[in-house]
Structure 1
Amino acid sequence: MTTEQLRPDSGSLPRNSSSRPSPYGGDRLLFLTEALRTFHDTGALAPSGPDLVNALVVPVTSRPNRPISVLEVGAGTGVVTRRLARVLRPGDRLHVVEANPRFADRLRDDPVLAARHPEVELRLSACRVEELPEATDGPGPDSQGGAGRYDVIVSGLPFTNFEPALVRQVLALYLRLLAPGGELTYFGYLGTSTARTLVSGPRRGARHRAVVRLLHRFEATYGLGERTVWRNLPPARAHLLRSPGPYA
């Protein structure tokens, strides 16, 4: 596992400058390449579209008037990360976790992330979320890495590709890492249960349905609402959840 602070580019141009190269040029090709190579961990053939990105960052755009700490898990090529970097304010912290080394390299070189406000702290961990020091030490100001708890977690993990035990572990970890009243967003693609059974056979279809039932129970306990995003490839449903306790 490697964790590093990504420093703002001291010579960065204004964010609307047309002189900067587009950060999106190779995203789709890189994403497709990695999806074909490691679909189990990537879980899609293309990055999330703008409508899905907007649904996932809702807790950050409707936030308290104080600095917040955000954890993004499974950042991929950075479509959500860039949106977060644009809306975060001075004093905010963004911790990005991405296990795929090629995606992590893409994030390190991203011009939009480099051009963020210099007072927005950005940390990148190239590992799985369950490998974070906070995952074993427990959240808090004295935990290794000093991350403390997070006000918002945005998860891009493809839960239905995982075993139910791992999904249960990750969801429990999210609850531990969230501050009381903190909010979590994640998404799932529509129509995947039938497709998984037809393509992968009954055993994987049964595993997929078990994960869906687990997610439904989690959403019934902590859910605040959901939004169906039809203008995405494929269409998806974004979920908003809140951890127990009053939000400071």
Structure 2
Amino acid sequence: MTTDQLHPDPVPDPAPHPAPAAAVRPDALPVPHEPRPGGGEGWFFLSEALRTFRLTGAVAPSGADLVNALVVPAASRPDRPISVLEVGAGTGAVTRRLARVLRAGDRLHAVESNPRFVQRLRTDPELARRGPELGLRVSECRVQDLPESRAAESGAGPDDGSGRYDVIVSGLPFTNFEPVEVQRVLDLYLRLLVPGGELTYFSYLGTSAARLLTSGPRRGARHRAVVRLLRRFEREYGLGSRTAWRNVPPARAYLLRAPGGHRHAAAGGGASAGGAPGAAR
């Protein structure tokens, strides 16, 4: 990741919200031409979202703009094999994009706790075609329950970096969880990343106001506590953000870097993502 991939968000016309000061450039990659979520996949995703909204946290698969922003670290990469972990893979919108971006010899590990989504991932023809080249692994569990996660949390992981990841792409709906759960997952991400490894995650815009209108005081307080926790994390580790206005609903993707190392090190550092206003999933 370099500083030329951080720039102010383009503001649509008309602009309902101010653009953040720094952004992850979507044109770091060619934008894939993908069909809009719909048909079988869109309805399947929606049915699962209605059934398990706390864990799914969305009503449609991520759109192409958001997907493109989330996979930037996997494409802006060193000239060596890399290892990528995707958490909350859903029906595979990001997973398929990663499979196109990554090269033979890279490693891709997709984690999803919903068994119906896992079945979809394991029977996806594009992933089946590219999987052997990427050592694709699909795990049906929470990220906390992975063997490498348990080793990292216990401090028993290897010192040579094996079992760690260069890039983590997270699709977890953080504001649906308790603050202690979110803190545990964020700490775990830092332990699972190699020094200087990069993390992306996203949040939907405008949900803070929606929660105030539709949730009770306890849920509203929990939501605000999680948002504060995420903003602190972004101030400490953030490189920038990009808003995907055409996503349904609009969303903001954040790019962060683990301490240490020199992977994608930018001359003079990067812009902080912590100041981006109004993003809460």
Query: TM-score under structure 1 normalisation?
Result: 0.86
C-alpha contact (below 8 Å) 1:32/1:45 kept by paired residues: yes
- Of residues 118, 122, 126, the one that matches 1:112 is 126
How far apart, in 2, do the equivalents of 1:69 and 1:114 lie? 18
2:230 corresponds to: 215
SS at match of 1:119: helix
Distance 1:156 1:117, change over 3 A: closer
1:68 corresponds to: 82
Displacement after TM superposition at 1:119 (Å): 2.3
In the alignment, structure 1 segments of 5+ residues that lack a partner are: 1-22
Aligned length: 224
Give the number of the structure whose residues are more often strand, by fraction: 1
The CA deviation string for residues 16-64 of structure 1, in whole angstroms up to 9 with x for no partner, is: xxxxxxx975211111001100100000100000000000000011000
The answer as to 2:249 corresponding to 1:231 is: no
2:199 corresponds to: 184
Q: What is the RMSD of the two structures over their aligned residues, measured on CA atoms?
A: 1.8
SS at match of 2:232: helix
In the alignment, structure 2 segments of 5+ residues that lack a partner are: 1-36, 264-281
Displacement after TM superposition at 1:141 (Å): 5.0
Question: Percent identical across equivalent pairs?
Answer: 75
- Of residues 128, 132, 148, the one that matches 1:134 is 148
Query: TM-score under structure 2 normalisation?
Result: 0.77
1:57 corresponds to: 71
Distance 1:24 1:106, change over 3 A: farther
2:21 corresponds to: none
Q: State the one-letter code of the partner of 1:228.
A: T
- Of residues 90, 102, 115, the one that matches 1:101 is 115
C-alpha contact (below 8 Å) 1:60/1:87 kept by paired residues: yes
Distance 1:199 1:147, change over 3 A: farther
Q: State the one-letter code of the partner of 2:107.
A: R
The CA deviation string for residues 110-160 of structure 1, in whole angstroms up to 9 with x for no partner, is: 0010111642110011000011111111274599xx961100000000001
